[in-house]
């Protein structure tokens, strides 16, 4: 979700500004450090190809994909998906728990998407908090067959897993006020026969949207809370104790824009807490004392476009609002993609049972909202 309070003028001038001056306004400046890793729409980097500064990604033709990136990973590799479903769009029209912001029915589209992707673990955002998260798990069970899926939710975030979820002692231990600080968290009990004795801990997050000072401050606080929780998880005592070297994921809709410095993403990556008085000292989130890694999924794994959100009817450029961060000391990324069905070949659509408009809202051209992100992880054994 994006709020539209930013002055339009700010959004229309970046091309001109970048062309004529190295002294960009702070709002439009590329950020130093981890947020500038993306070569595409989110990084308005001086000296980058002109295409990165255009307002429409369609200015650069992208070849249709054959869908090979959808191939199921080998045994022992975990497929993780994150998807902002736009307020309950995956549930039926007559569902009494639908959120008041619900504006699209994407029931069939969602079933086709998850059937093609076949994730092991999902992180959903914009699920009505009044809804029993198990309802989303039942939807997955119905769509994919097999054993019943498991669910845990907090606020509008829901973790779904084909494997058992341990939540006792693993949910975020923050006092549930304000509500904005809650995120779904769980330990996934992976089957030992396939993954060995290690399990997975994940935090499925939805950060505050909007460009106002209060919005940016809340995003920072949300990142501070998560970073604080990861310190707890790595150290004995308090609410969470993970076995050392347990793989950790922090994923979801982070609302990372190119219209502010997105310092909250830097906090998540590096463990640099802003409010240290309240949330403790800085602490790199990976087990080896380093930063988390960003999976950087690209559209259809082509390595050309890196946005996860797009709306051609508005003033905002497509951006990598959504992220999958991981402890790369114990996880190796073997595949990552943002699925864009509009850019799949006819053969690929037929092969995977997808339709070209499956990622669009109400089938309308140009209105994608959020796209599904996927990452495949191999578990690295630590000597
Ligand atoms: Ca296990
Ligand atoms: Ca602890
Ligand atoms: Ca700090
Ligand atoms: Ca690392």
* 294 within a domain of the structure (yes/no): yes
**CATH number, residue 33:** 3.60.10.10
d(CA 131, CA 98): 8
Q: What is the DSSP string of 226-272?
A: HHHHHHHHHSSSSS--PPTT--EEEEEE----SSS--HHHHHHHH--
Dist. CA 228 → ligand 2 center (Å): 10
Helices and strands, number each (H, E), in the chain: 9, 15
* 325 within a domain of the structure (yes/no): yes
Residue 257 has pLDDT above 80, yes or no: yes
Is 246:198 a contact under the CB 8 Å cutoff? yes
d(CA 322, CA 309): 8
* 215 within a domain of the structure (yes/no): yes
Residue 340 has pLDDT above 80, yes or no: yes
* 1 within a domain of the structure (yes/no): no
Q: Please report the pLDDT score of residue 51 as a whole number.
A: 34
pLDDT tens, position by position, 31-40: 333 333 343 3
Q: What is the DSSP string of 71-86?
A: SPPPTTEEEEEEEE-T
Domain span at residue 279 reads: 8-379
H or E element, residue 276:
helix 276-279
Q: Please report the pLDDT score of residue 16 as a whole number.
A: 34
pLDDT band with cut points at 50, 70 and 90 for residue 19: very low
Dist. CA 233 → ligand 3 center (Å): 19
Q: Please report the pLDDT score of residue 362 as a whole number.
A: 79
Q: For 249-278, what is the mean pLDDT?
A: 97
Output the six-digit token pair for 19: 């062309």
Q: Please report the pLDDT score of residue 59 as a whole number.
A: 54
pLDDT tens, position by position, 127-146: 999 999 999 999 999 999 88
Dist. CA 270 → ligand 3 center (Å): 10
Q: Please report the pLDDT score of residue 365 as a whole number.
A: 84
Q: For 316-331, what is the mean pLDDT?
A: 97
Please, which residues have CB within 8 angstroms of residue 59's CB and are 6 or more apart in sequence?
A: 51
Q: What is the average pLDDT score of the chain?
A: 85
Residue percentage of the chain with pLDDT more than 70 = 81
Dist. CA 284 → ligand 4 center (Å): 8
pLDDT band with cut points at 50, 70 and 90 for residue 14: very low
Residue 171 has pLDDT above 50, yes or no: yes
- Which protein residues have their CB within 5 A of the ion that is ligand 1? 189-190, 192, 199
Dist. CA 294 → ligand 4 center (Å): 10
Q: Please report the pLDDT score of residue 60 as a whole number.
A: 60
Dist. CA 259 → ligand 3 center (Å): 22
Gap between the terminal Cα atoms of the chain? 43
Dist. CA 190 → ligand 1 center (Å): 4
Residue 174 has pLDDT above 70, yes or no: no
Q: Please report the pLDDT score of residue 48 as a whole number.
A: 31
Residue 11 has pLDDT above 60, yes or no: no
Domain count within the chain? 1
Ligand nearest to the CA of 247: 4
CA distances 187 to 38, 129, 169, 324, Å, are 30, 21, 9, 16
* 121 within a domain of the structure (yes/no): yes
Residue percentage of the chain with pLDDT more than 90 = 75
Least confident stretch, 1-10, 271-280, 324-333: 1-10
Q: Which long-range contacts (CB under 8 A, 24 or more apart) does 43-46 make?
A: 43/258, 44/14, 44/18, 44/258, 46/18, 46/22
Instruction: Choose from 53-62, 160-169, 186-195 the range with maximum mean pLDDT.
Output: 186-195
pLDDT band with cut points at 50, 70 and 90 for residue 304: very high
* 65 within a domain of the structure (yes/no): yes
Dist. CA 204 → ligand 3 center (Å): 23
Residue 230 has pLDDT above 70, yes or no: yes
* 175 within a domain of the structure (yes/no): yes
Ligand nearest to the CA of 193: 1
Comparing CA positions, the residue from 340, 374, 351, 359 lying closest to residue 90 is 359
Dist. CA 224 → ligand 3 center (Å): 9
Dist. CA 163 → ligand 1 center (Å): 9
pLDDT band with cut points at 50, 70 and 90 for residue 58: low
More confident residue, 36 or 326: 326
Output the six-digit token pair for 228: 């604080």
* 3 within a domain of the structure (yes/no): no
Ligand nearest to the CA of 234: 2
Ligand nearest to the CA of 289: 4
Dist. CA 235 → ligand 2 center (Å): 4
Give residue for tokens 């450090």.
33
């Amino acid at each position: 979700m994006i709020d539209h309070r930013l002055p339009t003028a700010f959004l229309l001038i970046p091309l001109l500004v970048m062309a004529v001056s190295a002294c960009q306004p702070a709002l439009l400046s590329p950020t130093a450090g981890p947020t500038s890793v993306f070569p595409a729409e989110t990084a308005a980097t001086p000296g980058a190809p002109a295409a990165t500064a255009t307002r429409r990604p369609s200015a650069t033709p992208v070849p249709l994909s054959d869908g090979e990136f959808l191939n199921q990973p080998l045994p022992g590799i975990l497929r993780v998906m994150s998807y902002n479903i736009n307020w309950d769009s995956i549930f039926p029209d007559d569902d009494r728990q639908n959120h008041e912001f619900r504006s699209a029915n994407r029931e069939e589209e969602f079933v086709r998407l998850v059937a093609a992707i076949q994730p092991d673990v999902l992180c959903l955002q914009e699920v009505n908090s009044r809804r029993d998260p198990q309802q989303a798990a039942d939807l997955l069970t119905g769509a994919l067959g097999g054993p019943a899926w498991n669910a845990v939710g907090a606020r509008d975030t829901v973790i779904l897993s084909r494997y058992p979820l341990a939540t006792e002692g693993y949910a975020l231990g923050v006092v549930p006020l304000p509500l904005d600080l809650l995120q779904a968290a769980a330990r996934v009990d992976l089957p030992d026969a396939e993954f060995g004795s290690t399990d997975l801990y994940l935090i499925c997050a939805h950060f505050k949207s909007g460009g106002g000072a209060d919005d940016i401050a809340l995003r920072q606080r949300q990142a501070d809370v998560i970073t604080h929780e990861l310190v707890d998880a790595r150290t004995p005592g308090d609410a969470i104790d993970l076995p050392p070297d347990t793989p950790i994921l922090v994923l979801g809709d982070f609302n990372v824009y190119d219209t502010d410095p997105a310092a909250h993403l830097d906090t998540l990556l590096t463990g640099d807490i802003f409010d240290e008085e309240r949330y403790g000292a800085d602490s790199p989130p990976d087990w080896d004392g380093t930063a988390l890694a960003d999976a950087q999924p690209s559209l259809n794994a082509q390595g050309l476009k890196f946005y996860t959100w797009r709306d051609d009817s508005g003033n905002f450029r497509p951006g990598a609002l959504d992220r999958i961060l991981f402890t790369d000391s114990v996880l190796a990324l073997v595949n990552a993609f943002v699925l864009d069905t509009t850019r799949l070949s006819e053969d690929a659509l037929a092969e995977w049972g997808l339709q070209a408009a499956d990622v669009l809202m109400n089938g309308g051209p140009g209105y994608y909202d959020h796209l599904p992100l996927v990452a495949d992880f191999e578990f690295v054994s630590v000597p």
